[in-house]
């Protein structure tokens, strides 16, 4: 059992290293200058040199890779080009909403999957079993962007059960839209 856990942990480390290395290779292969993209076209040569030194871009590829790995190990994921905020802070702000979304998805899977599985097991080789298999097959093979768009249309837009965009305020704000957001045809 411990050997299995250690093997899984070792492969996880290999996968993370591969993703980090592939990301570094792709960003280095891009012909654009990241410093000019960050500072703009009218930046001074002194500012360009300072930013190159700060991000280790004044070194060779191996030195840049070493610096990149060291920054990731320290938890320094850099700064967002768009919002000029630390990426680690942006990720930290989004962890709890992402976890809530994952827990809601697991809850829905259990709410739908367990009863379908029980029905299929009790009514083996009958129409209920075949119907549960078809529903399971459709649920696994349908593209998520299609199912997600349909769910958004029906549950958020048509029925008004969830906010269409954003996070909502409090638990009830995420479960039901306020009356002022209801579709025009359902307002009194």
Would you list the domain boundaries of the chain? 2-76, 90-186
Which residues are CB-neighbours of 74 under 8 A, at least 6 positions away? none
Model confidence pLDDT, tens digit, residues 126-174: 998 999 899 888 888 989 899 889 988 988 888 877 777 766 666 655 6
pLDDT tier for residue 97 given thresholds of 50, 70 and 90 = confident
Please report the pLDDT score of residue 140 as a whole number.
85
Please report the pLDDT score of residue 5 as a whole number.
92
CA gap 142, 155 in Å, rounded = 18
Please report the pLDDT score of residue 165 as a whole number.
72
Average pLDDT of every residue of the chain:
84
CA gap 61, 15 in Å, rounded = 21
Unique residue bearing structure tokens 């930046």: 43
Unique residue bearing structure tokens 């979304």: 101
State if pTM tops 0.75: no
Helical ranges in the chain per DSSP H: 2-29, 34-39, 45-54, 61-74, 87-122, 127-141, 144-151, 170-175
Higher pLDDT, 101 or 182: 101
Please report the pLDDT score of residue 187 as a whole number.
46
Please report the pLDDT score of residue 56 as a whole number.
87
CA gap 147, 153 in Å, rounded = 10
Return the axis-axis angle of helices 2-29 and 61-74, rounded to nearest 10°.
130
Return the DSSP state at 79. B
Checking if the pLDDT of 114 tops 60, the result is yes
Please report the pLDDT score of residue 170 as a whole number.
63
Span of 46-55, 73-82, 86-95 with lowest mean pLDDT: 73-82
CA gap 64, 43 in Å, rounded = 22
Provide mean pLDDT across the span 84-99: 90
Residue 187, CA distances (Å) to 20, 21, 172, 182, 184 in order: 51, 54, 20, 7, 6
Provide mean pLDDT across the span 40-45: 84
Checking if the pLDDT of 57 tops 90, the result is no
């Amino acid at each position: 059992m411990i050997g299995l856990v250690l093997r899984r942990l070792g492969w996880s480390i290999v996968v993370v290293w591969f993703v980090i290395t592939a990301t570094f290779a792709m960003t280095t292969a891009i012909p654009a200058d990241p410093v000019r993209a960050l500072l703009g076209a009218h930046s001074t040569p002194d500012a360009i040199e300072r930013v190159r030194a700060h991000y280790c871009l004044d070194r060779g590829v191996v030195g840049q890779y070493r610096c990149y790995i060291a920054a990731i190990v320290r938890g320094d994921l850099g700064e967002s080009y768009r919002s000029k905020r630390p990426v680690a802070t942006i990720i930290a702000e989004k962890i709890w909403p992402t976890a809530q979304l994952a827990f809601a998805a697991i809850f829905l899977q259990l709410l739908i999957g367990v009863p379908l599985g029980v029905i299929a097991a009790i009514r083996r080789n009958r129409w209920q079993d075949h119907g549960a298999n078809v529903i399971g097959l459709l649920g696994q093979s349908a593209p998520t962007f299609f199912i997600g768009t349909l769910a958004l249309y029906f549950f958020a837009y048509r029925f008004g059960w969830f906010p269409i965009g954003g996070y909502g305020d409090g638990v009830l704000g995420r479960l039901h839209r306020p009356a002022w957001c209801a579709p025009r045809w359902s307002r009194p």
